[in-house]
Structure 1
Amino acid sequence: MKRTGKKEQRGAALLTLAALVAVLGLAACGGDSEPQRATEEALAATEADEGPDTVRSAADTIDTAGTWVRADTATVDTAAADTAGRWVRVDSAAGASSDTTTGSAPAPAGAGDVTYETYQNKRLGFSVRYPAGVLHPADEVGNGNGRTFEASDGSASMLVYGTEGSSPDKLRRRFDEQLDNPDLNVTYQTRGDGWYVLSGYRGDHIFYERVEARDNTFKVVRIFYDRSRKSAFDPIVREVSASLEG
């Protein structure tokens, strides 16, 4: 029987340690390790464009394209479409807001000077961090289902929302619908037990989408940003995705 030398044993131990550090690192940054690993792969599946930013109105970055913006809940029907086919806000009945933005926190290593605050949806019981100063809270989605966040120049936006009534079949249908969406060029797709991650392009924008199905509720994060801002937004996508809780 061939004996394993000390050098080989040491190499195997280092590989094991590296794998453990990677897993612990993903856990430390928040979220499950599988979706975060998928997020890293999703970011690697898109490329930057060194051309000028494509400035668009906030509505245009989240306009309707099949099921892209429309959530599968009746409350979202409180949003209507304008003559250009873009979603516009229809104010719901007066009442206390079901979501809040609280507290700022220092940016994680590698995220530059970005400071994050927490968006918390009390009605559906989930929260996520967003880059304050980069994306600003904008319209509420549906009847307290979520919120949009927009860059002041229209070059980026984020949509965060939840819907009740999740199931494995519904998750699979949502995943398949996005793959068939004619407005999206999907360059990365993966699906796990109760979640999926997609990335690719929508026009001149990169898009990223993470959906989790837990506790009979879908939690959705969608981010659009100009391809010329990829180096700045990839760390933001990483942090936002890792912070999704609830």
Structure 2
Amino acid sequence: MAATSAVAAPFTYVNDRFGTVCTFPDDVFTDRQPEPDNGDGQQWLSADGASLICSGILNVDDDTPKGFVAAEKASKEPGYKITYSKAGKDWAVLSGLRDGKIFYERRLFGKDGIIRTVWVDYPPALKSKYDPLVGAIAGSLKGP
């Protein structure tokens, strides 16, 4: 594969089922995984061990941003540790470690009863590469 100095334009994914929208560099997240049968989202992998998920779920439990953060902080899941969390009126952000990788998750709680999520995780050794990307990717999350 020839090296090029051109910068790839960001790729915008729109989920047909929930209208979840995420924009990210598809020159980093190059390996699109098969879409799940329920059509709730999509996952991409990078060659260096990172992954990105853009998806939606029905908010069947009437979860709130603060409730979501509290439940995740109380989780006893092995290998899961939250190091940063913040919740607003209709959004929540979590970051920490899961299964040895750094993760960053942003959720939007829509008035339409849908929770839209972007999740990025990556090996700690690649923190300097991915930390600058995460904010822009998470900030691109939106609904219709």
TM-score category, normalised to shorter length: 0.7 to 0.9
- More strand as a share of residues: 2
CA contact (8 A) 1:166 1:218 kept: no
Gaps of 5+ in 2: 1-6
Question: Helix, strand or coil: the match of 1:150?
Answer: strand
- Bigger Rg, structure 1 or 2: 1
Letter in 2 for 1:178: E
- More helix as a share of residues: 1
Aligned residues: CA RMSD:
2.0
CA contact (8 A) 2:14 2:20 kept: yes
**Residues in 2 aligned to 1:210 and 1:191: alpha-carbon distance in whole angstroms:** 10
Deviation (angstroms), 1:139: 2.6
Question: Helix, strand or coil: the match of 2:63?
Answer: helix
**Residues in 1 aligned to 2:11 and 2:50: alpha-carbon distance in whole angstroms:** 17
Deviation (angstroms), 1:170: 4.9
**Residues in 2 aligned to 1:234 and 1:142: alpha-carbon distance in whole angstroms:** 31
Deviation (angstroms), 1:160: 1.3
- C-alpha change, 1:150 and 1:220, in structure 2 (3 Å) is same
How do residues 32-43 of structure 1 correspond to structure 2 at under 5 angstroms? none
Given candidates 37, 42, 47, the residue that maps to 1:147 is: 42
Give the TM-score of the pair, scaled to structure 1.
Answer: 0.49
Letter in 1 for 2:133: I
How do residues 1-246 of structure 1 correspond to structure 2 at under 5 angstroms? 113=7, 115-136=9-30, 137-153=32-48, 155-165=49-59, 169-179=63-73, 180-182=75-77, 183-214=79-110, 215-246=112-143
**Residues in 1 aligned to 2:50 and 2:57: alpha-carbon distance in whole angstroms:** 23
CA contact (8 A) 2:21 2:54 kept: no
Give the TM-score of the pair, scaled to structure 2.
Answer: 0.81
Q: Give CA-to-partner distance per residue, 1:59-110, whole Å, 9 cap, x none.
A: xxxxxxxxxxxxxxxxxxxxxxxxxxxxxxxxxxxxxxxxxxxxxxxxxxxx
Deviation (angstroms), 1:166: 5.9
Aligned residues: 133
**Residues in 2 aligned to 1:184 and 1:114: alpha-carbon distance in whole angstroms:** 33
Question: Helix, strand or coil: the match of 2:24?
Answer: strand
Question: Helix, strand or coil: the match of 1:234?
Answer: helix
Letter in 2 for 1:232: K
